[in-house]
Structure 1
Amino acid sequence: KRADIGVAMGITGTDVSKEASHMILLDDNFATIVKAVKEGRRIFDNIRKFIKYTMTSNSGEIWTIFLAPFLGLPIPLLPIHILWINLVTDGLPGLALAAEPAEKGIMQRPPRHPRESIFAHGLGTHIVWVGLLMGAASLFTQAWSIKTGNAHWQTMVFTVLCLSQMGHVLAIRSDQESLFSQGLFSNKPLVGAFALTFALQMATIYIPFLNPIFKTEPLTLNELVFTIALSSVVFFAVEGEKFFKRRFAKV
């Protein structure tokens, strides 16, 4: 049989064996391989989570802007809104996903095929349907606000899209485990990024000198509660997806 890689000892191994090997154990301890595999799987998982978060967020923006004209609605977002979402709402929580600890049972998984797509295991489907849900929530907000004569409709659409993405990042911290059992504070950098992003989003709405820059208007308490409630639909939808994954995994 032919091995996939060659392993050499870093302390007692010869120079020839080190040159011929693909992996060198610096401490001559084979248990180090297990730790390295676990860390490698954690890093790969977090890369997939970052891709899932950013591409789903972009998908939500695309659906919102693309479908609005077909529904007879005005352009829902301005360029400054899109720039803000891409730099702040996507950027800060997305980077904090790198600090996500390894999921439970990560070493019980079978090895991943080297040629397996990074969009495997439903990642591509998730990007499409959750992005579409974000777009639907944003467009519903726009249509309902315009119909009721709400002059703040664009600020509400902007806020719904931002907050739905923030709820999404909390829900995708694990592919199957619920956030409620995982624990909110198991990734403190993400909690900090979430809080900072939320505070900055509120600043664009309620700090007067920022209103002309971001073309926003202060929302009433009822309007803010409405946007938060509608945005939470994305979080609970993804939690529901994970619930069914857990149920089918046990069958």
Structure 2
Amino acid sequence: MKFLLSGNTAGILAVLYASLSGLPAPFAPVHLLFINLLTDSLPAIAIGVEPSHGELMKDKPRDVSKPIMDGRFAMEVLLQGIVIAAVTMVAYHMGTEASGHGTGMTMAFATLSLARLVHGFNCRTDAPLTLKTFFMNKASFMAFFAGILLLSAVLLLEPLHKLFEVAELTGNQLGCIGILALIPLLVVQISKRLIKR
């Protein structure tokens, strides 16, 4: 649930930022359709089959009188959404300044898609990931690489460019997308470790 809500919050915040700033839309409708049908559903399914980990017995039982979506949950969703939206709009500005709106929109779409795929690893457990827990769920890796494959096809195969309304990107731009998409993973994992202390 946190994965889907934080990812959708990021998309909404990115569109809201563009609207309030008087910028053209950062995404085409087909981009949002691609994200919702493919890059969202694959990690969500993988998270649903996350195996229990050794730290589970150390967790305190949830108070049944409290709602699942409490204030802390909502704050985590919002903050994670803000981080993903921020890197998305950084990519949008980079692309727009380099080669115009088409490139900016493509970089925003690719960054949001990839960041949400990576964010799936954040949402597997409330605890910080360790080497042991990171490799426990094979389904999460299958979902991640399937998403990467689909996104790569859209970005790199010229016959798909018109259908998905994407511009051709340079190697440097693709590298920037990869770096930006990793930032939410680092931010969330660092924050989990600080909270755990």
User: Same-fold call, TM > 0.5?
Assistant: yes
TM-score, structure 2 length as denominator? 0.92
| 1:69 aligned partner | 19
Tell me if 1:189 matches 2:145: no
1:230–1:63 Cα change, 3 Å:
same
Structure 2: runs of 5+ lacking an equivalent: none
| 1:169 aligned partner | 120
Match of 1:105 among 55, 62, 78: 55
Could you tell me how far apart the structure 2 residues matched to 1:104 and 1:177 are? 13
Alignment of 1:107-186 (within 5 A): 107-120=57-70, 122-150=72-100, 152-178=103-129, 180-186=130-136
Question: What secondary structure is seen at the aligned counterpart in 2 of 1:216?
Answer: coil
Tell me if 1:85 matches 2:38: no
AA partner of residue 46 (structure 2) = A
Please tell me whether the aligned partners of residues 73 and 143 of structure 1 are also in contact (alpha carbons under 8 angstroms).
no
Could you tell me how far apart the structure 1 residues matched to 2:173 and 2:128 are? 32
Relative to structure 2, which stretch is displaced further, 167-176 or 234-243? 167-176
| 1:19 aligned partner | none
Could you tell me how far apart the structure 2 residues matched to 1:108 and 1:232 are? 29
Tell me if 1:211 matches 2:161: yes
AA partner of residue 72 (structure 2) = G
Superposition deviation, residue 149 in structure 1 = 3.5
AA partner of residue 215 (structure 1) = E
Superposition deviation, residue 186 in structure 1 = 0.8
Could you tell me how far apart the structure 2 residues matched to 1:183 and 1:105 are? 10
Superposition deviation, residue 172 in structure 1 = 2.2
Q: Which has the higher contact order (CA 8 A, sep 6+)?
A: 2
Tell me if 1:228 matches 2:170: no
Could you tell me how far apart the structure 2 residues matched to 1:52 and 1:170 are? 12
Superposition deviation, residue 129 in structure 1 = 0.9
Please tell me whether the aligned partners of residues 96 and 105 of structure 2 are also in contact (alpha carbons under 8 angstroms).
no
Runs of 4+ with >3 A deviation: 148-151
Superposition deviation, residue 219 in structure 1 = 1.6
Question: What secondary structure is seen at the aligned counterpart in 2 of 1:87?
Answer: helix
Task: Tell me the alpha carbon deviations over residues 53-104 of structure 1, each in whole angstroms, 9 at most, x when there is no partner.
Answer: 0000100000011110212321000111011111101101111111111132
| Superposition CA RMSD, Å | 1.6
Could you tell me how far apart the structure 2 residues matched to 1:87 and 1:116 are? 32
Could you tell me how far apart the structure 1 residues matched to 2:117 and 2:22 are? 28
TM-score, structure 1 length as denominator? 0.74
Superposition deviation, residue 121 in structure 1 = 7.2
Q: How many residues align?
A: 196
Normalized per residue, the structure richer in helix is 2
Identity of aligned residues (%): 27
Task: Tell me the alpha carbon deviations over residues 231-250 of structure 1, each in whole angstroms, 9 at most, x when there is no partner.
Answer: 11111001111111221xxx
